[in-house]
Amino acid sequence: MALQMQIIPVTPFQQNAALLWDDVNKDAVLTDVGGEADRLLGAVAKHQLKLQAIWLTHGHLDHVSGVADLIARQAVPVLGPNQADDYWLQALPEVTANYGFPVCQALTPTRWLQDGDELTVGEHTFIVYHVPGHTPGHVVFYSQANSLLIAGDVLFRESIGRTDFPGGNHHDLIQGIQSKLFTLPDDTRVLSGHGFMTTIGHEKAHNPFLR
């Protein structure tokens, strides 16, 4: 059995939404439904998957503003981020209007996530790590068996998340990456919220923000 992944960049910000599925029982989840619910549900249908949940890394509009539209068409639980990002989710009507996104309503997830929570897609388990700094409630999802980290806007190829938004904290971000992500195996594949994939080993060696 294998975990499959399709990366689907959404919104003008080209945010990497991911469709993850277990290719044996066809259970699937979508991460960071930033927009374009039609396209995301189209991918679910194309692979004949059973969508079980939406997982959210953090409350920024390009990661969450397609959720209301998607769950109106297909009711699935929304898991994450950590509750410290509630102020971002409640601000969605203003934030989406300010950025010229389709205006969406405030969002309250089905369940907030905590450091150490375990989520599953079919037979595959992901551990939740709470890594504040880009936003205070940012979480990431790690599957040891699949050497895969869904990193949102914490860590990018040779870069890190911005910390200049309200609630951002550079020190917390660096601390969280060093203590929670750089302790993962070097061959861990990292799917960031934007841009190319990388690995933990590559970032330890080449990320200029983490020397």
Q: Tell me which residue of 49, 59, 43 sits closest to 9, measured CA to CA.
A: 43
Query: C-beta of 164: minimal distance to Zn ion in Å?
Result: 11
Q: DSSP assignment of 115-170, as one string?
A: TT-EEEETTEEEEEEE--SSSTT-EEEEETTTTEEEEETSEETTEE----STT--H
Query: C-beta of 134: minimal distance to Zn ion in Å?
Result: 6
Burial of 70-99, coded b for 16+ CB within 10 Å and e otherwise, reads bbeeeebebbbbbbbbbebbeebeebbeee
Pick the closer one to Zn ion by CB: 64 or 128. Answer: 64
Q: Tell me which residue of 172, 133, 170, 171 sits closest to 153, measured CA to CA.
A: 133
Please give the residues from 111 up to 170 whose contact with Zn ion meets the rule CB under 5 A. 153
Q: Does 32 bind Zn ion (CB under 5 A)?
A: no
Cα 37 to Cα 195: distance, rounded to the nearest angstrom: 20
Query: C-beta of 153: minimal distance to Zn ion in Å?
Result: 4
Residue from 60, 124, 130, 180 binding Zn ion (CB under 5 A): 60
The number of residues in the chain equals: 211
Pick the closer one to Zn ion by CB: 47 or 170. Answer: 170
Pick the closer one to Zn ion by CB: 122 or 136. Answer: 136
Query: C-beta of 59: minimal distance to Zn ion in Å?
Result: 8
Pick the piece of the chain touching Zn ion (CB under 5 A) from 22-30, 43-51, 52-60, 94-102: 52-60
How many residues form the binding site for Zn ion (CB under 5 A)?
A: 2
Query: C-beta of 104: minimal distance to Zn ion in Å?
Result: 16
Pick the piece of the chain touching Zn ion (CB under 5 A) from 57-65, 96-104, 113-121, 124-132: 57-65
Q: In this structure, which long-range contacts are made by residues 194-198, counting pairs with CB atoms below 8 Å and at least 24 apart in sequence? A: 194/13, 194/14, 194/15, 194/16, 194/153, 194/156, 195/16, 195/156, 195/157, 196/157, 197/157, 198/155, 198/156, 198/157, 198/158
Pick the closer one to Zn ion by CB: 124 or 134. Answer: 134
Pick the piece of the chain touching Zn ion (CB under 5 A) from 53-61, 66-74, 98-106, 173-181: 53-61
Query: C-beta of 139: minimal distance to Zn ion in Å?
Result: 12
Residues contributing to the site for Zn ion (CB under 5 A): 60, 153
